Structure 1
Amino acid sequence: MNILITGSTGFLGSTLAKRLLKENHHVYLVARSKKKAQALIEELDHKNGQVHVIEGELTRSSLGINEEEIAALTGNIDVIYHSAALLSFDESMREEIFHVNVSGTKNILEFAKQINVQKFIHVSTAYTLGTRSIGSETLYPTSSTFQNAYEESKCNAEHLVMSYHQDFDVMIMRPAIIIGDSETGESNSTFGLYGIIRTVEILKKLARRDPNTNHNYRILMNKRSVSNLVPIDYVVTVLMLGLDFGENNTIYHITNPNPPSNQLIFDSIMESLEFNGVELTPYDEEHVLTEEEVKINTPIKVFKEYLNSSITFVDENTRNLLHQGNVNPLNMDKEMLIRIIDGFVEHKTVTAKPVLLGTV
């Protein structure tokens, strides 16, 4: 198949591109410039004849692509994976978040219609449910109460996607919190889990400065709440199943049926980093923190709503998809979690900051 990917320079998009090439598909990578996509192109060089770069910008009509190139693409692209998004919980960026995630989605949908694609697979997020405690594989009202502008923008984008179901097959894939490869730990993400790993790394360094003191730093977090972590390779597997078995006008949760508790996650991080000087403390005990601990907790405050609640995700549609593809549901244990953390810590420099998910 000929498959076009937005967000191809991001963690998910680039991993998806590699898997598609392994299956001998031709991939068309949308990027603001060929220079921006150069690192990925070089990595995919052995499949050079199957890799095509399209210079385009998501926030422009027809992606800013000239008429000649549009004519060449018309009728020749089978599927579009739309994975580009601006991921930030910074409310001051609300306008930009909506511009990329909503207006950008509208542009790529119109572009898909313009070039006569057969299938449009939209990568959303499991957290379009807002403040609900149970996630269903259905659209949520855009009037829902959301934790942040990112969730709200992705919910609005989902409604746009489904409105095109009579023009071509559309489906929405909702990954939860994407982490590294389940075998190698490979990841270039700097968000979520990896911001927390960075925090523990900093605490370990602080403790080394004063080795004679018994340090036990308090992190504000509900230890019993669960975090729905999903390895990147599992996410891509489900996305790939959408090619052959995905149904029009259908939503699929790419979630963890047995998500780890926050305590298990921290135990795994501390085991990987060989540092046990962290204690999870309930949010209602914030007043007991030292001045130093308040500063330590500041970077992860943005995740408070996610780290203080447990969400159940219904995934019947996804289980049917997995069954059709003869793939088992995710089974994450502590061993897998430590393997993912080990692989990441060993090969990457971790920095915590808001990130662009391959925005084009």
Structure 2
Amino acid sequence: MTRPDGRPALVTGATGLVGGAIALELLRRTEADVYCLARDTSREPAARRVPRLLTRAAADYGMDDVLDEIPARVRVLSGDITEPGCGVPDALLPAEIGEVWHAAASLKYRDRDRAEIELHNVTGTRHVAGLALRLGARALDLVSTAYVVGERTGLITEEPVTADRPANNVYEDSKRAAEALVSELPVDTVRILRPGIVIGHSETLAAPTTFGLYSFVDELTAFRTKVEAKLGNYLDHYAIGILGDPATRGNLVPVDTVATAAVRLSLVGAPGGIYHLTNTEASRLGEALAALTGALGIRSPRWVSDRAELNSIDAALSERLEFQAAYMLQDKVFDASRTRRHCGDGLLTVPLSPERIGEYITRYLKDGAAEQVVAARKAAPGV
């Protein structure tokens, strides 16, 4: 299958979880070249880093059919979205691009990092939008997040964000601004793609990321290590108190489901607008956390509705879960009617039992990412 207009695609964020999966899906479903815009680092130039990470992801996802396509069709553009023109001289730009996929972003969320977050997620989006215009792209797809709606609860439709509920953090704020920016872009088609909480591959369970669900794993792993160093096997006997509602629904969606839906929207010529790339089978927070603690070998948490019910050890964990705290109290259900209209009803339905979630977490722990996080935090103060 070729691209709708036969022209190559350009992907930002191809070294990340969602951007990399989209690049691989484009290689699998189309025949055109895929340009990947990425920064050179002090240790490795983009020309080596991009194909290395894409090759690793393809192997992790069992996409053997794509491995030969990476050296044959991936074209790396060394640049930086935080710089004007994305730091790419005109002479190095491809002659034409049919569609731009903007997945690069800062995933930080704290107020102290506001300048950096806005530089990447707002200014960076502005630069990518300008690059799309320079390249004559007919479509731009912005990867946002379903949680851009902030404190809103209940049924969330595929509509622009309203100001009736504040954002939970700076990250959400920056994504709101990015969505508003591209919605006015004078290209034929602008799609705003809002994934849920992206987890590993639906079959291999691999997840080259430490964000989303896996940040929970990292925080609890680091917390367990701290507690064991001071209190021995305390967690074998005491259930940690967590402020939240176990009935709260969270939307976990495999990365390959997100990438398949995103690329399918393009290939079928879906019109511009907002699309939820979310799982129609929501997960309950209580079940997910029970699976997580089970995989870590500690007792399931006890849920409390009042911070006063937390003891000092519980409170120490609560501080670590600063980012996740709001989402443990805000019940959201994401309507994906527009996406299903173009992608079919089955694609976005991925049942995730507690046992299956536990398997994702076990795979993540087996891959050793959480151990690296713990090693980096051993000198951190407090429990």
- Give me the TM-score of the superposition, normalised by structure 2: 0.83
Q: What is the Cα deviation at residue 143 of structure 1? A: 7.6
- In the other structure, the counterpart of 2:89 is 66
Tell me if structure 1 keeps the 8 A contact 2:295–2:361. yes
Q: Deviations over 1:199-239 (max 9, x none)?
A: 43346554596348723222333211111111111111111
Q: What percent of counterpart residues are identical?
A: 25
Moved over 6 A (4+): none
CA distance in 2, matches of 1:225, 1:136: 18
TM-aligned CA distance change 1:65 to 1:329, over 3 Å: same
2:319 is the alignment partner of 1:298: yes
Tell me if structure 2 keeps the 8 A contact 1:146–1:152. yes
Q: What is the Cα deviation at residue 270 of structure 1? A: 3.0
2:122 is the alignment partner of 1:102: yes
- In the other structure, the counterpart of 2:361 is 341
Mapping for residues 1-360 of structure 1, pairs under 5 Å: 1=3, 2-23=8-29, 24-33=31-40, 35-37=44-46, 38-43=48-53, 44=55, 46=68, 47-70=70-93, 73-74=94-95, 76-133=96-153, 134-141=155-162, 145-164=166-185, 166-202=186-222, 205=225, 206=227, 210-211=232-233, 214-273=237-296, 275-284=297-306, 286-323=307-344, 327=347, 329-350=349-370, 351=373
Tell me if structure 1 keeps the 8 A contact 2:193–2:262. yes
What is the Cα-based RMSD across aligned positions, in Å? 2.5
Tell me if structure 2 keeps the 8 A contact 1:142–1:152. no
Tell me if structure 2 keeps the 8 A contact 1:177–1:192. yes
CA distance in 1, matches of 2:293, 2:117: 34
TM-aligned CA distance change 1:199 to 1:162, over 3 Å: closer
- In the other structure, the counterpart of 1:356 is none
More off after superposition, 105-114 vs 26-35: 26-35
Structure with more contact order per residue of length (Cα contacts < 8 Å, sep ≥ 6):
1
TM-aligned CA distance change 1:332 to 1:18, over 3 Å: same
Tell me if structure 1 keeps the 8 A contact 2:141–2:193. yes
CA distance in 2, matches of 1:156, 1:307: 24
Q: What is the Cα deviation at residue 140 of structure 1? A: 1.7
More off after superposition, 106-115 vs 336-345: 336-345
SS class of match (1:85): coil
CA distance in 2, matches of 1:344, 1:290: 30
Structure 2 unaligned residues grouped into runs of 5+: 56-66, 377-383
Structure 1 unaligned residues grouped into runs of 5+: 354-360
More off after superposition, 212-221 vs 262-271: 212-221
Q: Deviations over 1:93-119 (max 9, x none)?
A: 222222211121111111111111121
Tell me if structure 2 keeps the 8 A contact 1:120–1:171. yes
- Give me the TM-score of the superposition, normalised by structure 1: 0.88
Q: How many aligned positions are there?
A: 346
